[in-house]
């Protein structure tokens, strides 16, 4: 498993007589707490940094300076540290570029964390709005269309590749059906392609290549055919058949 522990030996085989010697804010991030463990005597012992956890875990764990570092406590603190590490990784993914819930869970597990931990983190980030499946799906769809005209089939394919929930995909498709003119988009792309092709190739070859490009961009056959015919028919620089 991925580890965030500074001293794994303090968790794997805790020695008798050890206690928590300090719970200090991290110098890098005061919201995170460095847990130090060492012998109860001498009292002046500063101990070793066992791990660093989010300060909210202090209440959940109900730990304090001087508590016995028992195997049971070591396991609980280890679990909190691992959860904290997985959560920070998930936050970075979700806030930097957006992500679907299933993809987030898969990536957390791939980092070596338990599936239960991944599910809990995904639940938490959904609850506070950082992971929003529908908003993410709509954002991806807008980006695809903005970069280059595309049909609903390509958008659906791209969303499935990103592990977007089928319900969110269905909603995006319904929105596209209401607001996205596939024929106009396909004609725009076909017209641009025709202008590139038809000074060099005959109309039949141009039709074949334009149709193929539109199909790759996810437009249905009837839209591909109509947009191709319009583009070829209206191209001013075409070579006669």
Q: What is the pLDDT along the chain (241 residues), one digit of tens a residue?
A: 444 555 677 887 788 889 999 999 999 999 899 999 999 887 656 888 988 999 888 888 999 999 999 999 999 999 999 999 999 999 999 999 899 999 999 999 999 999 999 999 999 999 999 999 999 999 999 999 988 999 999 999 999 999 999 999 999 999 988 888 999 999 999 999 999 998 889 999 999 999 999 999 999 999 999 999 999 998 876 555 4
Whether residue 175 is contained in a domain is answered as yes
What letters, b where the CB count within 10 A reaches 16 and e where it falls short, cover 196-211? ebbeeeebeebbebbb
Q: Are residues 74 and 37 in the same domain?
A: yes
Question: What element of type H or E holds 103?
Answer: helix 101-110
How many domains would you assign to the chain?
Answer: 3
Which tokens go with 78? 């280890």
Q: Are residues 138 and 206 in the same domain?
A: no
Q: Give the residue carrying structure tokens 């988009």.
A: 185
Q: Are residues 13 and 123 in the same domain?
A: yes
Whether residue 4 is contained in a domain is answered as no
Number of other residues whose CB lies within 10 A of the CB of residue 213: 18
Q: Are residues 114 and 166 in the same domain?
A: no
Domain residues for the domain of 221 are: 182-234
Q: Give the residue carrying structure tokens 């590490």.
A: 85
Whether residue 1 is contained in a domain is answered as no
Whether residue 64 is contained in a domain is answered as yes
Question: What element of type H or E holds 22?
Answer: strand 18-25
Q: Are residues 76 and 137 in the same domain?
A: no
């Amino acid at each position: 498993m991925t580890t965030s522990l500074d001293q794994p030996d303090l968790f794997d085989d805790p020695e008798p007589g050890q206690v928590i010697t300090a719970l200090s804010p991290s110098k890098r991030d005061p919201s995170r707490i460095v847990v130090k463990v060492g012998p109860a005597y001498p009292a002046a012992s500063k101990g070793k940094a066992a791990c660093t956890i989010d300060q909210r875990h202090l209440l959940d764990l109900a730990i304090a300076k001087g508590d016995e570092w028992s195997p049971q406590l070591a396991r609980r603190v280890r679990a909190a540290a691992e959860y904290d590490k997985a959560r920070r990784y998930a936050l970075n993914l979700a806030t930097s570029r957006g992500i679907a819930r299933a993809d987030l869970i898969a990536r957390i597990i791939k980092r070596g964390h338990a599936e239960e931990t991944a599910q809990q983190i995904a639940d938490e980030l959904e609850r506070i709005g950082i992971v929003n499946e529908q908003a993410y799906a709509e954002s991806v769809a807008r980006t695809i269309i903005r970069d280059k005209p595309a049909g609903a089939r390509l958008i659906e394919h791209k969303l499935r590749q990103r592990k977007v929930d089928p319900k969110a995909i269905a909603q995006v498709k319904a929105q596209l059906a209401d607001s996205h003119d596939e024929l106009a988009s396909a004609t725009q792309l076909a017209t641009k392609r025709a202008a590139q092709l038809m000074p060099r190739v005959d109309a039949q070859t141009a039709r074949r290549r334009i149709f193929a490009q539109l199909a790759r961009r996810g437009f249905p056959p009837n839209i591909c055919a109509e947009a191709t015919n319009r583009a070829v028919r209206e191209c001013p620089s075409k070579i006669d058949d």
